[in-house]
Structure 1
Amino acid sequence: MSDVAHLTPSTMLDFRSPAIVRLISQRGWLGLRPSERIGAAYDFVSNEILFGYNMSDTRRASQVLADGYGQCNTKATLLMALLRGLGIPCRLHGFTIDKSLQRGVVPELVYWMAPQNILHSWVEVRLDGRWINLEGFILDNGVLVALQAAFPGRNSLCAYGAGTDCLQSPQTVWHGQDTYIQKTGINADLGLFESPDAFYAHHQQALTGLRRWLYRNGIRHWMNRRVALIRRGLVPKLPGGEATLNPSIRKRVFGVE
């Protein structure tokens, strides 16, 4: 597939929308070298778009930008749109992750409702003739620092939205190399896609009917409140795991013993 296919807009990659055009112009990113353009877009999505859960994976890039938060799939859509708007070829790599990666974010009372295999994706960007994997943009720095502080002697973690074997020094900063933060949670490779539109035309999250309605209208807001608390350093204990929150506060905030 030629670079032309990796530079075009799509319904979800709406980088010609006024909000995205305005953002790129105001930041002056088009005046940067290609590697710096990637870094600028990557840093923006990493930390100015907070880690959180949108209404659906199929939000357009401009909608994710307006939301101001996102998770792996929605942040990937926004990053791809920014990169293509900056003339940087990119594509999507689809996967599934085990739901245990979301434990601590998904409330225990409804954890059973989560699909065992959750759709996941990262962005692959073409620079100097090679493809580079970008996944380390998912957790904003506030969440990552809180997890590092909660587990100071631990490197391997697959919970709270993180899946890494190097928690204290993860590959999350753009230096022209691969970045990761959820890689160890991956349990299936779904292949490469020209756009998120193509990915979701073939793969849909296994959450339908009442469960889908509950997620969109209630559970995701609960999850986002929990992420906000984690960002403040209130990291809940996992069942059978390390306690990082006073039990009385944990019961009041998270509703679990």
Structure 2
Amino acid sequence: MCADDPLLAATPILDFAHPSIGRLIESRGWNALSTHVRIGAIYDFVRNEIAFGYNRADYISAAEVLTDGFGQCNTKGTLLMALLRAVGVRCRLHGFTIHKELQRGVVPELVYPIAPEEILHSWIEVETETGWANLEGFILDAQFLSTLQSAFTDTQSLCGYGAGTDCLTAPPVEWTGSDTYIQKTGIVQDFGTFDAPDDFYIHHRQSLSLMKDFLYRHLIRHWMNARVRRIRTGRLPRIPGMAMPNHHHEGSHHAS
């Protein structure tokens, strides 16, 4: 391991020297695993033990994401990168934007019209024993994804409720050593790769006015997280113009 390798370096956002991260790695025994299994164990932890949800900002540290216990594409990606680097696995960030339609159903309809048309997005590129793999499939935890699969059994294509996929029944989200995706079909702009999220956020931030940023941090994200929790239990908010899902949706009577 090269101490000067930028793809293994700690940064203010990738703060893997934080005691909480060190305790987690030690308790899980990840350092004792082979590279392939090590990556998969960390990936599965971030995917399923860090629930899908919305933090106060994209650029919070890995330790804060771990403390929150939930995150979205950018913040879960930060934690994934920090954990991978902490156990000697090289990784980098690939930055994008996605269309806001992918968030419909999670973003309340009352505020959806004023949401930015494009939302900052990223996935993680990890160096495996056979080459580089794109990791994006960790964003939605298995329980949340399973709810969407149960609700939309008559379609393979879904853009909404946090998912952007053309293979809903079997999206490539499991770690096998290859690419994983769950929001890929919503991508609009490609910003290329960055050594660390710190570099990415120097050049790209979500464009929000001071008022919108205040409302997001203190009101809207909590509203969104409440909707995510309801979706996870099977109560899907109706999206105007979208066919009613097969599952129970808000405002309806539960089918017996």
TM-score normalised by the shorter chain: which range applies?
Answer: over 0.9
Partners of 2:169 and 2:187 in 1: CA distance:
20
Partners of 1:208 and 1:156 in 2: CA distance:
33
Kindly, what percent of the aligned residue pairs are identical? 58
**CA displacement, residues 30-86 of structure 1 (integer Å, 9 cap, x when unaligned):** 000001110011000000000000000011000000000000000000000000001
Partners of 1:128 and 1:177 in 2: CA distance:
11
Gaps of 5+ in 2: none
Q: 1:103-122 counterparts in 2 under 5 A? A: 103-122=104-123
Which amino acid in structure 1 is aligned with residue 215 of structure 2? L
CA displacement at 1:128 relative to structure 2:
2.2
Closer, same or farther in 2 for the Cα pair 1:31/1:185, shift >3 Å? same
Partners of 2:115 and 2:10 in 1: CA distance:
32
TM-score, with structure 1 as normaliser: 0.94
2:111 alignment partner, SS class:
helix
1:128 alignment partner, SS class:
coil
2:7 match:
6
Query: Higher helix fraction: Structure 1 or Structure 2?
Result: 1
Partners of 1:248 and 1:141 in 2: CA distance:
25
Partners of 1:196 and 1:169 in 2: CA distance:
30
CA displacement at 1:237 relative to structure 2:
1.7
Q: 1:28-177 counterparts in 2 under 5 A? A: 28-177=29-178
Decide whether the 8 Å contact of 1:113 with 1:211 is kept in 2: no
Gaps of 5+ in 1: 251-257
Decide whether the 8 Å contact of 1:97 with 1:186 is kept in 2: yes
> Number of paired residues?
249
Closer, same or farther in 2 for the Cα pair 1:196/1:232, shift >3 Å? same
1:222 match:
223
**CA displacement, residues 204-256 of structure 1 (integer Å, 9 cap, x when unaligned):** 10112111100000000000000000000111221011223456359xxxxxx
Partners of 1:247 and 1:31 in 2: CA distance:
46
Closer, same or farther in 2 for the Cα pair 1:247/1:105, shift >3 Å? closer
TM-score, with structure 2 as normaliser: 0.95
Which amino acid in structure 2 is aligned with residue 114 of structure 1? A
Q: CA RMSD in A?
A: 1.3
